[in-house]
Structure 1
Amino acid sequence: MTEVASATSEAPGGVDTTGCVDWGTVAKSNDSILDYFKTNMGHRTTDFYSALRADCERIEESMKTSEHEVLRKEEDAYLEQRNNAEEAHLKQLHQEEINYYKARFQSFLASRDARKKAKKLQRQTIRDMKRRDILIAEQESASKEEERIKSTQTEKRVAFDRLIAFLNNKHDKQRRQLLAAQERKIQYERVLDEMMHSHEKVEVRRSMEKKSLARINHQIAANKRVADQLQEVQQLELQQLKEKFDLDFETLETVQNMKITHAKLVAEATSSNLSEINQEKEKIISLKEKLKLERLELEHAGSMQTLLHRHIAELRQLREAQNMSSIGLAKKGDNSFLGSNLSLVHSVASKNDSNLDLSPPPKGDTASERGEPVRLSKTSFRREKSTTSRSGKDRVNSIQSQERDSVTSEEEDRRIQLKVDGSTLERLRVKHSNALSILYDAQKAEIEEVQVNMDKRKRELEASHAIEMRELVESHNSEIETLYSNQEKEIQMEASVHEAEARMLVERKVLYSVVDSVISGIITIDPIGTITRFNRAAEQMFGYQASEVIGKNIKMLQPHEIAVQHDFFLSRYLETGVRRIIGHGRKAEGVKKNGSRFPVHISVSEVLEEGIHLFTGIVRDLTDMVEYENKQAHIALQKQEQIKLLLWELDETKKRSDVLLAEVMPPSISKTLSSGKPPTPEQFSSATILFSSIVGFSEMYISTTPTEIVELLNLVYSTLDEVISMHNVYKVDSVQGCYIVASGLDSQNSGDHAAEIASLALSFLSVVNQLSIPTRNDMRLKIQLGIHTGPVMAGVVGTARPRYRLFGQTLQTASRLMDSGLPMRVQVSEDTYKQLSQSGGFKLAKRGETVVRGEDATTTYWLVGKENSSEPLPEETTSLLSE
């Protein structure tokens, strides 16, 4: 084909060198081209068949070569399969040997680890037993300490109970002795009074007996108050003793609890220190164990490395034997087969070498440690082949030497670390000892501080007790002085009342004598016509004795025609009030005991006082005294006027007694007493109490004359009494500079008693702020007030001279609010604040937590004003609005 192409390209006249025909030239010479083509085609055909024959021969040679190659590859495959089987068998043996040694080493490590764990568990058990023994010892010590504390507390309580019992017995004896002395004094007074007035007249003796009885009653009331004061002092003494014991007991309990807490803290610190030291010891033991374990693993790794190199040598011998066997087979064949076989051997060897790894395993990553089969890398095998001048034993020794150097370096590091841990353990022990010393010092300082604080509290409590006892005694003395002063005034008032009663009795006796001595008959009947009085003139006039007619109807003294209508006349008058006879004299007829009639003049009057309703008839006999009718009528009228005057004086005396009673009793109580009924004590669930006192009254009492003090108190109390009259409140008492008022004791203001007292307190501030003392123009009078709302018990104390008294904690709280207040300000409790908030209209300012004597700290408020009030208040109160 190439020859044809070449001939074509060399043809003249129409064919160029690139094989492209110029058809224009060919068309000009068709004949010459045809001849040339025929000649040329014959040569080309011959050349074509010659080349085709050569190609067939080359194909035949290639087929023979391929058949030989196939046979060679089959032989190589057989040899490779046989070699691989031998090598796999040898590797299996090596792997079984490696697994055996590795399993034995793992078993050794497992048994060793089990022993170490058992030892560690044993150490832990021993430590737990030690901790348990320490804990048991601490618990026993704490239990004994607790028993000792309880025993000490019990002994103290028993001693305190004995002291209380002794004091109670002593106080009972004191009260009994006081009561006996008071009774003896009263008996002496009675005997002396009887002896002094035994020679007097009956009327004088009776009056003196009443005065003596009144004085004795006052003395009994004063004695009762003295006994009450003694009991209050005794109760305060017991209360102070109990507070002192409570403080001592609290001190003992606090110190003992603190010691127990400190002991627990020390035990916890010791346990924590011991645990920390044990952890450090375990750390050192673990480090030692790790050193031993690494040494064993490195020894095991060295032995496994030696075994590995032995296995590598055995594999190398096997492969050399396999290679020699392959070469012998190749020599028996032709040259081409030998070359191809040698290349096959080299490829097989290269392939086998790629599965070998003779490099030493990295530290900490050995096959034995990972539990994997040992593999030989191609790189290590080639390095081993490249260093055939060195024996396998030298290579192993070199590797083992490097590993021993590495192990030695690591062991040295571990030993250094072990020494460091040992010094750390010693430092830790020193640190724990120092920490315990610091803890002991801090606990000792804490206990000393508690002791100092408790001693300080004890001194403060003793000082407070002394002040409280002194204030109580001073208040008792002042109260007794005031009581004696008031009793003296009351005795004088009662003496005047007794004198008035004596005069009234004398006048009544005179009246009875006059009635009996008049010549006119005087007959008194009640509203149903029953005769209650029948004088001597009536007896002479009608012929009846008084005993015969008293208690019978007046109709027996009247004619029949009048008697049948008399009851009708009385009932009509009682129903209509229209007088026909009463107040008018008229002539009538009377019937004597013998039945005879006689002319009389009847004058009837009516008395209606204090539930007494009587009709008095003055009857005059007109038989012999007709000529004297006018004169007798005039005399009768005069006598009637005298009787009315006496009755009026009696009524006035009674009114004065009622007014005097109303001044010291509430209206409901005074009415009850006037009716003759004994008043019963009452419990008021809610009432408001006001305590007010003159600021600096004690100093004023010392620096001022008694006359000035009386004038000052009279001025202040009169002013406050005027203010009280404008409010629905009740004045409880006024003792020296203290003025006590209550509200809520009457059903009319049971709901707004707090508002009444609050308005009264503002009025007190206003009038006192404007009050001037005539004898002391340079002095400004100030008061301080306290208000509290709560339950109150009220009742009448005494019989001869009864007093209306209030009792309960509410009075003490109000008094203490007054004591803890400030001048010209009103301090109210939280209960009163709530009542005033519900009522509305009052302005209050919160004072905050205030310590009231005898009570815990409580929230109190200032009363600073009232809405829509025009009363001027002092600056001390109004300044609270701007705060």
Structure 2
Amino acid sequence: MQSHFKGFMTNQTLHFFESLRNDCIRIEEGMKDSEKEVLRKEDEAYLNQRHDAELVHLKKLQQGEFQQLKDTFQRLIAARDARKKAKKIQRQTVRDMKRRDKTIMDQDAASKEAARVKWTLTEKRNMFDAMTAHMVNKHDKQRRQLAMAQERKIQYERVLDEMQNVHERVEVRRTMQKKFLVRMNHQSAADKRVSDQLQEIQQLELKHAKERFDLEFQSYEDLQATKAQQVLAMSELIAGQTIELHFEKERLVAQRELAKLALLEAQHIAECKKMTKSHRIQLKALRGQQEARDIDAHSDNKSDGGKSDVSSVASATMIKSVLAPVVATGAAGTAGVAGVAGVAGVAGVAGPLENTTKEEDSDDERNDIEADPDNKSASTIIRLIKKHEQARDSTLEIHKAELEKLESSIQDRTLQLEASQQLEMKELLETHENELQALYSLQEKEIQMEASVHDAEAKMLVERRVLNSVLDTVINGIINIDPSGIIVRFNSAAESMFGYTADEVIGLNVKILQSPEIAAVHDTFLTNYLTTGIKKIIGYGRRAFGLKKDGTMFPVHISVSEVLEDGAHLFTGIVRDLTEEVRLEEFRKATDMQKQAEIEKLIKQVDISKAKSDALLSQMLPADIQKQLVAGNQIIPEPFDSCTILFSNIVGYADVCAQSTALEMVDLLNGLYTLFDGVISQHDAYKVETINDSYVVASGLPMRNGQMHPCEIANLALNLLAAALNFTLPGRPDFRLKIQIGINTGPVVAGVVGLKMPRYCLFGDTMNVASRMMSSGDPMRIQISEATYQALKRNGGYELVCRGETKVKGKGIMTTYWLVGKEDMPLRLPEETACLSAANHHRAQSTSNLSQ
């Protein structure tokens, strides 16, 4: 009976806590819905403000166009009066004045149009900045809300866990508390990853908004540039036609100035009416677009579950605002020159000027004909006028077709950008989902392994005590330091040797035990090794001088070994006192030195000269070529059927030069090339040349190495990326080095060029392709050609990702690949390359799952 009651109470308790959890979840969902509603209201208010700003902006543009039309007409009338008065003195002077006046008006109109375009671009930039600030504010709120929700969830779990285990025994509660802490740690890690994923999505949204704005900005500039070119072309055509007509109009005189003035005023009034009608159509079209955008925005909010995309609406609004005046004016059906100018979007500048000038010339010609109808040249002028009109109409039709083609191209680019952005967002969301699933699976395994970790820790403590006992009985001094040079172990023999106790030196830098000369550069040695991986003392023994506590220097023999295991990184130095041995050696050396002094004095000058010449040649030429030159042999160009070439350079080198002094650039290049030379020395490769930020390396020459040159260059490129990731510039802690690398495999011809300054140079298309692989690549990535890909694939062991068809300058379309890793590679690669490797593994896993 008691067990039955206990089971009943246990079930009731579990049911009670499950109900509490469900209530917490429902409360949290309600809070999330309220927060989403607040964000939606803010988006609606922002869109309404945007609509009002667009209407004000369009009205300002229309007022400027109308005022510009009136000013142009007034200047045209004034110029005409001046020309007519001047015609009484000399006709040719009038024509020159007309040409000059028209040029001035065209330049003035062009400058005003350029100012209008600049102002419009500035307004678009300001609107984009406001939209970006709104998106950033919205993203900040989303991250804060997510963090608060995650914290609330952890608090709920903590309270429920305490309530559930309050009646258990102390031992059970301790066990349950450990499990809860482990579970909460994993939950915190998962929450951190969810927050990071949200931030990645937000950064992608900002990036998409920037891409859409850049496309819109560039499209507007292209559209305005095309219109300006068309206006200039039409002005040049009219100017040429006017000059051609002047040859035939020398004998014609204008007779009807008053009628012409009335006609011009009537035309001006007609143009003003057309412009007013066009402005009304534009305002109506803009309001209709705003209503349509509001409807689209509401529908997007509903379809996305309350998540509004302000950046997409703003981008569509800004693109439609550019194209709306063109479509509305073109649909109005205005005919003739004024109608085409309206389609071009410059009815206030190009249309009236071209139409007025054309009609003015035509009226002058008709007046000339009426004044002298019997003139034989009248028919010729009529035919020429018709020919000119046909040429103008044809040019306007061509301009209209060009604008339509450009607008269609802009729409296509916009659609392509939206499609690519949607695909990118979808891939990112899928990647996030897969990462979370993998993380949850890994956390479950880690929780199961937690119990075994405690046993391993206990065993490790026992082994550490045994090791300490053994080290204290060794007769040589043993000193352990960490990568920063801090002493972490000092055995008994070392205490006797240096006069310090372990408590006095542990936690201090090992420089206190070294001579001043070695102590001054010891940290630099450690830094160089940790950066380049080049060993100078590790694994080898050498003699040095130690410094005792009382300041006495004494000779020692030191050998250093390195331990790098499971996150522990230590250097162990074994020190042996050489005081007696050094005394005997110095006595023998003194005798030998006295005998050799005379000989060394004689050959010193010869050695110095030879060393200088050898050092100079070794920097410019390979060893074999150097020997042949020294022997006086002629160097014959040598073809190599297959070798691998590597090109690299510094990304943004021009910007770095502009922001740095000459001495800083020397320090940067010296440190970088010293680092690269150290990496190259570990591979079968030859540095061909370095020019500013360009670095060229080859393998397979001058000494052939069979089919190993692709692997040597691939290993070298991966090590260069890893080394560049850890490169730092003194005085510039914020500087991050970025390089791009290109690799190609193929035949070359090698030879020595020059007599006074001979250089070992490589020639052939393989060099050009390698250079293009570098220039068309991405920062902190390695791009390889098809030939190198096939060679590495034959050798095996490398991780390669197909980039696809890439447009290469001078080579057209080529299929290229990314080199993203190698099996069992211990070095850490940059994020730009590591993400390609992760994506490749994900695709491979997906393919494997589908095949299964």
Q: TM-score w.r.t. structure 2 length?
A: 0.35
Q: TM-score w.r.t. structure 1 length?
A: 0.34
